[in-house]
Structure 1
Amino acid sequence: MPQIESSRGSVWRAPGMAPLLAMSALGFAGFALLLPTAPLWARHIGADEGGAGLVNAVLMLATVLVQTTVPWALRTIGWRLVLSAGMLLLGLPSMLLIFTDELWQVLAVSAVRGAGFAALTVCGASAVAHLVPRSHSGRAVGVYGLSIALPQFLLTPTSAWIAESVDFRVVFVLGCLPALAVPFAIALGARIGRAGGEDEPEDAGPGGGRVFLALALPALVLLAITTPGGAVISFAPQLGFGPFAVIIALFALTGVAAFSRFIAGGLADRYGPHRFIPPLLGTGAVGLGLVAWATIAPADSALVLVAGAMLTGIAYGALQNLTLVISFAAVPIRMRNIASTTWNMGFDTGTGLGSLVVGFIAAGTSFAVGFSVTAAFCAVVGALYRLFPVRGDGERRVVDVERLVVLL
């Protein structure tokens, strides 16, 4: 596949990047609009905190289950059909929420949308590895990260406000935006399909069970930060703060996440990704501790909430980039779709768990306890990552997780 040849080439100009970025932006726009709004709609029609938490948990459960089939689907029916179907399944069901008045109906829509989101996430991340060489992977992941983070930055904080201040139906109609990405999905799929026979030569690398061991620790790191990230996004409108404070906090989280994800790409290419992970997990734990503290007295702690959201956003954005770079570096080229699937399963499992676990903990105790648990999870995973060193292998660096598996 034709890729950037010069070490100084711009990843923005890599063939196929333009449709990838457009498709990803539209797809994640639909995702971001409903991530806080669908649980809020569930509360609006009578569900409790636990029921509201189920909405995004079901979305992510369906996503993770379908993600396991995406590599097979790409081999069987091809990129164009998989991507086009994914965009339609993610976007069009949003309109059905207008007609829902029971929790099970909202959950059913979430499940269908999760199937579409599975195709978008696995194919989008995998396409980055198809379009650029490994030497540019950090920067390419950063650019790809911007295309998915900017819609979340603009829409996640405002969608709940639009729903409550204007009308839920406006958000549900806008949630169909992924369907507009079908032409870009077809163009990207055609690009990858045409160049499929010109791919890089398969390289030697770990195989079989060792590949999955090599992918386990970055997936655990991703799980540790997306669990609280998903919880903050899902429950910020329900924490007892005023609408303005919620919007600013979500802008802080998603905006800082977009910036840190982009910056982390260049740092990963230059210095390697591993050294940044423990301190970033520590930063996330501190931010979540501040969020937990803020929920104890919402009327007097809006600034604490915003500060906690910003610190959480630094870790949330940067660790998404770094763990994806590590995952691609840990496998031979022929298995990059598997690396993308594993990474996305970690991301989406964390987002779903954050909604489910924090929701049910809050229903039984408080949001302060729920966010404190996620902060402790971040800290523990950061400590584990520091305990198990990185093993060098030429330009590729593989995380040594065998000692971790033995320990567990």
Structure 2
Amino acid sequence: MLKQQGDGPACREEVPVWRVPGMRPLLASTALGFAGLSLLMPVAPLWALEGGADELGAGLVNTVLMLFTVIAQLLVGRILQRLGWQRSLALGSCLLGLPALGHLATSQAGAVMALAAVRGLGFGILTVCGATGVAALVEPARRGRAVGAYGLAIAAPQCLLIPVAPWLAERVGFWLVFTCAAVPLLAIPLAPRVARALHDSGDVSTAPAEARDTSRLRRVLIGPIAALLVITAAGGAILTFTPRLLSDPVAVYLALLAFTATAALSRWGFGHVADRRGAAPAIAPLLFASAAGLAVIGAGTAGGSGAAGAVLVVAGMLVVGVAYGGLQNLTLVQAFAAAGERARSSVSVAWNVGFDAGTGLGAFAAGAVVTMSSYAVAYAVLAAATALVGACWAGARWRSRGAASRAAPRTL
């Protein structure tokens, strides 16, 4: 028989990660938060365009969102110490959900950006709490699968809602999207259950941080965070501008579905790969695959609005989606493994900052390049940056293996 919850940490090894105490309410809270975010990620920039903004202004909406997400993520440690898990999670849900309704009042670009700033604060709190909570609830040996489950809770709402949100806004009305985007408020009643489970697991994230070797931490995290930055920059550009990339609403839906569905499956599937073989070996290949996919998307946009161009865009989205989902899982698992258990909270903050900074940077950079040139050039720049980081990662792995082989004792 399975041990009961009170029997200690060993009981968690005997049940699937989905059934670890606290995981279900934590994953449900995550899914509700990302549902609200997913509805507005492609639609809030469209709403700013309705209010008279240009492409750069539209890109700035999600850039502001991610800027304030990063600010909140850097403050989550203090927020947890002051408010505790329950009130911190409830605060994040309120800040993410309530401003969605504010879009009903105005489409003026400044107001849309202000609402994005408030949503970013809530999103920042929820993302760091979610990643830290998953790492606290599940032991390191099964962390890849736990991160995969967490990734699926993130990716499933994106898969279901991002492709359909622009269609709903344009065919039914923006009001429907804005009303539904308040769904993170439904996560508030789940906060006490998550907090109770984290307390029972012995989590100490709300305690003052222990002294750490910050130089070593920066050194071991630079590789995973760099990989995360470039892949999320690609994602930020895709999620912000795909509704403007293709003229056919069906093609837009298929492109976004290809991207989000493959990302969802990859986030779950690569969790098992990370547990069995480690996270590091697959990172460079996925970066190179993403660079190829981005180049194909750029070629599709350069080919005009015909069927051939749409096919190339959808095909590129499929490839980038695999890398986008897989790298989100692998970079987080690799960061936890490289930094060690004592740095768990710092890793969670650094990874989430990298994720959202990359997303915001991608939206801003793509918007700026498109304003000055074209979508084809924007995707070419993203492809080049991704390939460069992939080459750096592959080179570092090659040097590490060479050093290990030279250090190994030789036998006659």
Tell me the TM-score normalized by structure 2: 0.91
Q: Please state whether the residue corresponding to 1:46 is helix, strand or coil.
A: coil
Task: Give 2:350's aligned amino acid.
Answer: T
Q: Please state whether the residue corresponding to 1:115 is helix, strand or coil.
A: helix
Task: Give 2:305's aligned amino acid.
Answer: P
Contact 1:226 1:347 in 2 (8 A): yes
1:206 Cα deviation after fit: 7.1
Q: Which has the larger radius of gyration?
A: 2
Q: Please state whether the residue corresponding to 2:42 is helix, strand or coil.
A: helix
Identify the residue that residue 220 of structure 1 maps to in structure 2: 226
Identify the residue that residue 257 of structure 1 maps to in structure 2: 263
Identify the residue that residue 303 of structure 1 maps to in structure 2: 311
* Mapped partners of 2:279, 2:211: distance in 1: 19
Identify the residue that residue 147 of structure 2 maps to in structure 1: 141
* Cα shift readout 1:158-190 (whole Å, capped 9, x = no counterpart): 001100010000000001000110111221022
* Mapped partners of 2:310, 2:321: distance in 1: 16
Identity of aligned residues (%): 46
Identify the residue that residue 390 of structure 2 maps to in structure 1: 382
Contact 1:231 1:355 in 2 (8 A): yes
Give unpaired runs (5+ residues) of structure 2: 1-5, 405-412
Change (3 A) 1:215 1:5: farther
* Cα shift readout 1:90-126 (whole Å, capped 9, x = no counterpart): 0010000111131100000000000000011101011
Identify the residue that residue 90 of structure 2 maps to in structure 1: 84
* Mapped partners of 1:335, 1:237: distance in 2: 40
Give unpaired runs (5+ residues) of structure 1: 401-408
Identify the residue that residue 336 of structure 1 maps to in structure 2: 344
Q: Please state whether the residue corresponding to 2:246 is helix, strand or coil.
A: coil
1:207 Cα deviation after fit: 2.4
* Mapped partners of 1:331, 1:343: distance in 2: 12
* Mapped partners of 1:22, 1:195: distance in 2: 19
* Mapped partners of 1:366, 1:89: distance in 2: 35
Aligned alpha-carbon RMSD (Å)? 2.1
* Mapped partners of 2:288, 2:399: distance in 1: 23
Contact 1:205 1:331 in 2 (8 A): no
* Mapped partners of 1:45, 1:291: distance in 2: 28
Task: Give 1:343's aligned amino acid.
Answer: W
* Mapped partners of 2:110, 2:204: distance in 1: 47
* Cα shift readout 1:46-98 (whole Å, capped 9, x = no counterpart): 10000000000000000011110102221232111111100010001000011
Identify the residue that residue 369 of structure 1 maps to in structure 2: 377
1:388 Cα deviation after fit: 1.1
Contact 1:257 1:313 in 2 (8 A): yes
1:391 Cα deviation after fit: 9.7
Contact 1:143 1:262 in 2 (8 A): yes
Contact 2:136 2:201 in 1 (8 A): no
Change (3 A) 1:16 1:197: closer
Contact 1:4 1:132 in 2 (8 A): no
Equivalent in 222, 228, 252 of residue 246 of structure 1: 252
Equivalent in 282, 293, 304 of residue 287 of structure 1: 293
- Equivalent pairs counted in the alignment come to 390
Identify the residue that residue 348 of structure 1 maps to in structure 2: 356
* Mapped partners of 2:189, 2:337: distance in 1: 31
Tell me the TM-score normalized by structure 1: 0.92
| 1:312 has 2:334 as partner | no
Contact 1:16 1:191 in 2 (8 A): yes
